[in-house]
């Protein structure tokens, strides 16, 4: 399984770099171009989930003690799993859905469409299932009743938000600002000051000096993260490509690698300072983190719901608002509950997505005559 994953990661990296070299000046524009900040707010909040907020404090001790991660400090390891190079997955799929798919219509082929939307629905529900599973870690002492009720309400909010693209944009922008507020509050709580923050940011240099180590899976947990990014990549590319506004290929490439990495690096640096000082996070801070995490989950779920409902034409216009909300909430919540009785893992979904990558690549080669030379465009 890891051999397949390694080949897939190398292929994505090679193709992405080739696209920047060959089509660097090609202008990309989506169906609903958004302002630059709005585009990245949608990308940032849709392409990440509660793990960004809650995982680092539990993962730093692991990276500090296990031999597999000894080549860099825990902060650099954490950043490598979430930032910079890993966003190349979203670059490739965003480019594809901006430029290639409108011409080749591969995702309109019935069986490809079926597989793609099955992946979207399965991953959407699986995201809700993971949130359900990890809730006791986020909210200490939460009872089963409140766990299931909270997930049901979050899913209901996500499905409602997906009924209108304006809600998706508003929620993405609001949660982005709320995340920035959380960073500031946590930084003040940690008492790092500018010097402490700068010192931790400097430690991220170990990521860049060891960036080659993050290309291939070097542990089972690293492989888990890579599969997770694969599982999400086609879906997020489909969704966010709609909002790209007049960016050249090289601009999109650099922006995707750099811009999301800035808030991620600052957030992780603040959390690492809190971790190093052994400070206890409780009360208001815990609830603030949970709130932002819940909103990130809602953002992810509404984006995926919006995507598969548009693809399958199971939209508000066709079903009506109440019927739309009822059908999709029931479908996704039923799957979330069903996942408790299955051994499903994100690695399986990631493998299916890698297979879909291979099929699409083959079909692109077979249909390449339908593509206009992008350099002459």
Higher pLDDT among residues 368 and 62, named by residue: 62
Q: Determine contact, residues 79/207, Cβ cutoff 8 Å.
A: yes
Strand partners, 247: 28
136 pLDDT higher than 90: no
Q: What is the mean pLDDT of residues 342-353?
A: 86
Average pLDDT over the chain, rounded to an integer:
90
CATH topology of domain 2-376: Hydantoin permease (1.10.4160)
Q: What is 111-137 written as a DSSP string?
A: HHHHHHHHHHHHHHHHHHHHHHHHHHH
What tokens were used for 372? 């206009």
**pLDDT surpasses 80 at 222:** yes
For the cut 60, the answer to whether the pLDDT of residue 273 exceeds it is: yes
In angstroms, rounded to a whole number, what is the distance separating the alpha carbons of residues 131 and 293?
10
User: pTM of the entire structure?
Assistant: 0.89
**Taking 80 as the threshold, does the pLDDT of residue 316 lie above it?**
yes
Q: Tell me what pLDDT residue 377 has.
A: 40
Q: Has residue 373 got a pLDDT over 80?
A: no
Domain ranges of the chain: 2-376
pLDDT per residue over 194-212, tens digit each? 999 999 999 999 999 999 9
Residues in the chain: 377
pLDDT of residue 372: 62
């Amino acid at each position: 399984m890891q051999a397949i994953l390694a080949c897939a990661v190398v292929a994505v990296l090679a193709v992405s770099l080739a696209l920047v070299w060959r089509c660097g000046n090609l202008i990309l524009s989506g169906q609903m171009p958004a302002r630059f900040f709005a585009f990245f707010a949608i990308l940032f909040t849709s392409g990440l989930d509660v793990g960004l907020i809650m995982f680092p404090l539990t993962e730093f001790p692991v990276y500090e003690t296990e031999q597999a991660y000894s080549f860099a400090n825990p902060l650099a390891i954490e950043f490598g799993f979430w930032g910079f190079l890993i966003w190349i997955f979203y670059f490739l799929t965003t480019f594809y859905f901006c430029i290639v798919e409108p011409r080749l219509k591969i995702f309109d082929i019935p069986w490809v469409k079926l597989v793609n939307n099955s992946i979207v629905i399965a991953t959407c529900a699986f995201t809700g299932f993971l949130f359900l599973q990890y809730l006791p870690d986020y909210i200490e002492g939460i009872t089963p009743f409140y766990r299931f009720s909270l997930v049901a309400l979050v899913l209901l909010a996500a499905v409602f938000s997906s009924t209108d693209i304006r809600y998706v944009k508003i929620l993405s922008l609001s949660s982005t600002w709320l995340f920035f507020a959380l960073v500031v509050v946590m930084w003040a709580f940690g008492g790092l000051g500018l010097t402490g923050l700068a010192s931790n940011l400097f430690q991220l240099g170990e990521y860049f000096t060891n960036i080659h180590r993050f290309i291939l899976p070097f542990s089972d947990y690293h492989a888990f993260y890579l599969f997770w990014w694969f599982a999400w990549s086609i879906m997020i590319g489909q969704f966010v490509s709609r909002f790209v506004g007049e960016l050249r290929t090289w601009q999109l490439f650099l922006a995707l690698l750099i811009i999301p990495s800035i808030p991620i690096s600052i957030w992780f640096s603040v959390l690492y300072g809190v971790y190093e000082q052994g400070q206890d996070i409780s009360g208001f801070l815990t609830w603030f983190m949970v709130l932002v995490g819940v909103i990130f989950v809602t953002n992810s779920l509404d984006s995926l719901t919006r995507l598969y409902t548009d693809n399958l034409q199971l939209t508000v216009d066709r079903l009506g608002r109440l019927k739309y909300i009822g059908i999709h909430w029931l479908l996704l919540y039923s799957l979330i509950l069903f996942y408790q009785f299955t051994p499903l893992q994100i690695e399986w979904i990631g493998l299916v997505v890698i297979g879909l990558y291979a099929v699409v690549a083959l079909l692109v080669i077979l249909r390449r005559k339908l593509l206009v030379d992008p350099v002459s465009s």
